[in-house]
């Protein structure tokens, strides 16, 4: 009897608990929120997407034809062949000025940027030391480089110091790369970036900081937590969150710019970022200074919601940004709460293993500019009602 080549897939699906099954869902954006495309066309207030400043829906109505006219829908080739357009160059210059960096590389997605970046910065002679909760794309990039990979306890500088000290003692000349994020999207936590940079300077390690969820929201004028810190060697950021577009960038200084141009295969051998997305990102980047009151109001609303959740008996959700995790525990309970909130007209994603550890399922509440004022009250009252059942 021949071996069944699909047996592994069937077995994996049979082992997967029903509470962990994922389903694709289609939503149509509209002025009031998101409309469930099937089956009912129900209007839901969006508490799930990463469109923190509401720029994605604004862009949907204003940048389409103009963005395409700025350079076409597709770049047609890699940046080193014919894919680099004037709009790319304008965006890179604007990002350099905004972030205080010398060079920016544009990528079609944040996932591609992270995988490509780590594969270029590390090799089999290196050690990559990554935060335990780093995004899958960063870990995949480290593994694809062939480097040894260690995971330090989440935001634990003492653990990182021990690992760097031991590594430097055992292999004084070894290249060390430290990887972390400035806003962990499922935990809502942020590291001590100054402490990270100080340790990397002390042990001669390269520091890579993923600012995908922080740019536009955290740091001075939304410039992220790495802004103004010279020992953060590499900053990655995405355009599909607070900047309301799509694609990503890697910002560096000095020799690292020349190095990545020559040795980052994910940049050199991939079709360049769509000029239409570059134009939309550029337009939204120009709007950011005028949205400073909205950004401050968003952070204030985030803190107020955290305080209300504590008053209801929940542990204080960590962090200070617009991602507010509500720890539930079990997967089934999290899915039931998601359903109750949807019945109340709110779209709040239940996050389950393997995205988070077993027993740590949660609601990932995302506050965004433009949500109806009464929507947070509906959220709180629904959670209260569930507590009293």
- d(Cα 151, Cα 283) in Å, to the nearest integer? 38
Active site residues: 50, 135, 181, 185, 210, 213, 241
CA 260 to chain centre: 22
Please tell me what DSSP assigns to residue 164.
Answer: H
SS3 4: coil
C-alpha dihedral sign at 167, 173, 174, 179: positive
Give CA–CA dist 95/100, Å, rounded.
8
Residue 116 CA to residue 112 CA, distance in Å, equals: 6
Structure tokens at 187: 């935990």
- Beta strand segments in the chain, E: 27-30, 33-36, 43-46, 103-107, 127-131, 148-152, 176-181, 206-210, 234-238, 248-252, 323-329, 346-347, 349-351, 361-366
Question: What is d(CA 235, CA 242) in angstroms, rounded to the nearest whole number?
Answer: 16
CA distances from 188 to 80, 140, 177 (A): 37, 22, 23
Do 345 and 339 form a contact (C-beta atoms < 8 A)?
Answer: no
Nearest alpha-carbon partner for 379 in 305, 298, 297: 305
* Cα–Cα–Cα angle for 224, 49, 344, rounded to 5 degrees: 135
**Residue 151, number of CB atoms within 10 A of its CB:** 17
Distance CA 79, CA 61 (A): 29
């Amino acid at each position: 009897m021949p071996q069944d080549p699909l047996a592994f897939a069937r077995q994996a699906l049979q082992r997967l608990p029903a509470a962990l099954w994922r389903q694709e869902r289609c939503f149509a954006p509209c002025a009031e929120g998101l409309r469930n495309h099937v089956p009912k066309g129900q209007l839901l207030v969006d508490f799930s997407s990463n469109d923190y400043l509401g720029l994605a829906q604004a862009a949907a109505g204003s940048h389409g034809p103009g963005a395409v006219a700025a350079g076409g829908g597709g770049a047609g080739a890699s940046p080193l062949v014919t894919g680099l357009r004037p709009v790319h160059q304008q965006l890179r210059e604007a990002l350099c000025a905004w972030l205080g960096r010398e060079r920016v590389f544009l990528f079609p997605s944040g996932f591609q940027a992270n995988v490509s970046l780590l594969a270029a910065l590390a090799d089999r002679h290196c050690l990559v030391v990554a935060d335990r909760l780093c995004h899958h794309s960063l870990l995949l990039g480290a593994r694809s480089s062939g480097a040894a990979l260690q995971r330090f306890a989440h935001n634990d500088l003492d653990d990182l110091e021990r690992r760097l000290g031991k590594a430097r003692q055992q292999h004084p000349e070894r290249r060390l790369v430290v990887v972390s994020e400035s806003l962990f999207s499922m935990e809502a936590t942020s590291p001590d970036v100054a402490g990270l940079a100080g340790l990397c300077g002390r042990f001669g390690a390269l520091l890579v900081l993923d600012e995908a969820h922080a740019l536009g929201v955290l740091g001075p004028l939304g410039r992220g937590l790495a802004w103004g810190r010279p020992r953060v060697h590499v900053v990655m950021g995405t355009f599909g969150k607070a900047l309301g577009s799509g694609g990503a960038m890697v910002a560096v200084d000095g020799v690292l710019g020349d190095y990545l141009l020559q040795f980052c295969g994910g940049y050199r051998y991939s079709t360049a970022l769509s000029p239409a997305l570059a134009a939309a990102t550029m337009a939204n980047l120009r709007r950011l200074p005028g949205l400073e009151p909205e950004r401050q109001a968003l952070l204030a609303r985030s803190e107020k919601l955290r305080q209300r959740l504590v008053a209801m008996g929940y542990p204080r959700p960590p962090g200070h940004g617009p991602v507010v995790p509500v720890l539930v525990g079990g997967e089934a309970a999290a899915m039931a709460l998601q359903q109750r909130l949807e019945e109340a007209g709110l779209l709040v994603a239940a996050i389950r293993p393997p995205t988070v550890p077993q027993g740590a399922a949660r609601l990932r509440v995302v506050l965004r500019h433009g949500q109806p004022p009464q929507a947070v009250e509906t959220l709180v009252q629904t959670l209260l009602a569930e507590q009293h059942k």
